[in-house]
Amino acid sequence: MRPLIRTARCWLLRARVRAMATLPTAPPATAISFTTRPLYTPSSRSHRRLLARFFSVAPASAGARGLRAAASAVEVGGVKIAREVDVVKEDDLTNNVPDTIFSKIGLQLHRRDNHPLGILKNTIYNYFDKNFTGQFDKFDDLCPLVSVKQNFDDVLVPSDHVSRSYNDTYYVDGQTVLRCHTSAHQAELLRDGHTHFLVTGDVYRRDSIDSTHYPVFHQMEGFRVFSPDEWSGSGMDGTAYAAAELKKILEGLARHLFGAVDMRWVDTYFPFTNPSFELEIYFQDDWLEVLGCGVTEQEILKRNGRRDHVAWAFGLGLERLAMVLFDIPDIRLFWSNDKRFTSQFSQGKLGVKFKPFSKFPPCYKDMSFWINDAFTENNLCEVVRGIAGDLVEEVKLIDNFTNKKGMTSHCYRIAYRSMERSLTDEEINNLQLNVREAVKDKLKVELR
């Protein structure tokens, strides 16, 4: 899992290349990975109300961006999400969601029973059903548009935390984001009276590009509340009791997924749990982080109607585990509709090893430019993905220097590769030409 909010160290490392980002400009008109989707009516009234408070700029005309994109809308969990009213607002400087991201909303790979992510989700459901018959409420259709409060404040993410930046999170406007973790739903579900729940959903993060990072991925959140009578006879305090229960249950889950493996617990930090842990397993000759978890901060329980209770919570990244369990070498494959990929998986069959249908060679193109103060690698990756879509496999900084005048140059190597076919030289040259133009225009850098 790519932990959202963990140690300061983890964020500081990445912060070196990003600083606090300026907002990216409007997304490019060509979104190669744009998927045709059904047309729906505009968003639900309650959701519209939430957005309307902050919606100050009239959407651009349909002609400016093409009819199909302008008319698009999807429905998630009964909420209608309209592209330009609710997600992509090209003229709104508080919006940084490109079309490539909108095109993923509503696809809900985790709800496809024959998809590796759906198979994994169902296998985890089976574990909880077997061990806690009927106790855990399951949610896998909650709307990914959430308020800043839900995503950050409700789970005690500090106001100056880097994960709140425009560089890391997709903002629809100043108050609304595409959730960057399923923890965003903890508080509302607690308030609704749930005490045992699993939340699975698509989550969104601005990030770099490589074989294990994709701006949309899937998480599952688990949450379990205990009342005082449950631990009073144990001789332990509530926190120790919840931590012991948590570890027992998650070790069982890891065995359910991976068989008899060695495991270890690593202390860590999350704003919403204390103590906090990561579970690692020894798998294929290496320690693999499986999930993050901990005992929920009292403040969260207190604010949401469960004073004097304790709770545990965990969060895991489905792609991360599915890549290992199914031998899937590239995270982009999860989004493939190619039969040679999809036909290899079937309901209930966890761990069937993926057989690559053929390996197409990557093609590398370098580009160098003088960066400016606002430059961040995440912004660069967003622009490249906007042009090349899923044909871009990796964007890697290969050279970096500052001249006597204090100007800093970066050289990035872009790897283009399709998972499904050979790319022609002409196609790649065109992509690279368009990428260069877009990088120059949108990031205002000086190409070298």
Residues that bind ligand DAH (CB under 6 A): 3-5, 181, 183, 221, 270, 273, 292-294, 313-315
Tell me the closest approach of the beta carbon of residue 283 to ligand DAH, in angstroms: 20
Which is closer to ligand DAH, CB of 5 or CB of 31? Answer: 5
CB of 221 to ligand DAH, least distance (A): 5
Strands laid side by side in the 145-147 sheet: 145-147, 176-178, 171-173
Helix (H) or strand (E) holding 298: helix 298-303
The minimum distance between CB 365 and ligand DAH, in angstroms, equals 33
Closest residue to ligand DAH using C-beta atoms: 315
Q: For residues 1 and 419, which CB has a smaller minimum distance to ligand DAH in the complex?
A: 1
Report which of 298, 300, 256 is spatially closest to residue 279, judged by C-alpha positions. Answer: 256
CB of 273 to ligand DAH, least distance (A): 4
- Determine the Cα angle at 422 with ends 418 and 426, to 5°: 100
CB-based contact 365:428 (threshold 8 Å): yes
The structure tokens listed for 413 are: 């190597």
Nearer to ligand DAH, 2 or 442 (CB): 2
Neighbouring C-beta atoms of residue 373, cutoff 10 Å: 7
Give the nearest distance from C-beta 185 to ligand DAH in angstroms. 10
Rounded CA separation 84/70 (Å)? 7
Residue with Cβ nearer ligand DAH (33 or 298): 298
Are 376 and 389 in contact by the 8 Å Cβ rule? The answer is no
**Helices assigned H by DSSP within 73-157:** 99-102, 116-131, 148-151
Name the token pair of 397.
Answer: 């900084």
From CA 3, how far away is CA 270, in angstroms rounded? 9
Residue placing its CB nearer to ligand DAH in the complex, 156 or 363 = 156
Q: Which residue, 331 or 380, has its beta carbon nearer to ligand DAH?
A: 331
In three-state secondary structure terms, 398 is strand
Q: Which helix (H) or strand (E) holds 416?
A: strand 408-416
Shortest Cβ distance from residue 243 to ligand DAH (Å)? 11
Rounded to a whole number of angstroms, the minimum distance from the CB of residue 445 to ligand DAH is 31
Least Å from the CB of residue 292 to ligand DAH? 3
Q: Which is nearer to ligand DAH, 118 or 294 (CB)?
A: 294
Residue 265: strand, helix, or coil: strand
176-178 and 171-173: which strand pairing? Answer: antiparallel
Give the nearer residue to ligand DAH in terms of CB position, either 116 or 315: 315
* Residue carrying structure tokens 């631990």: 231
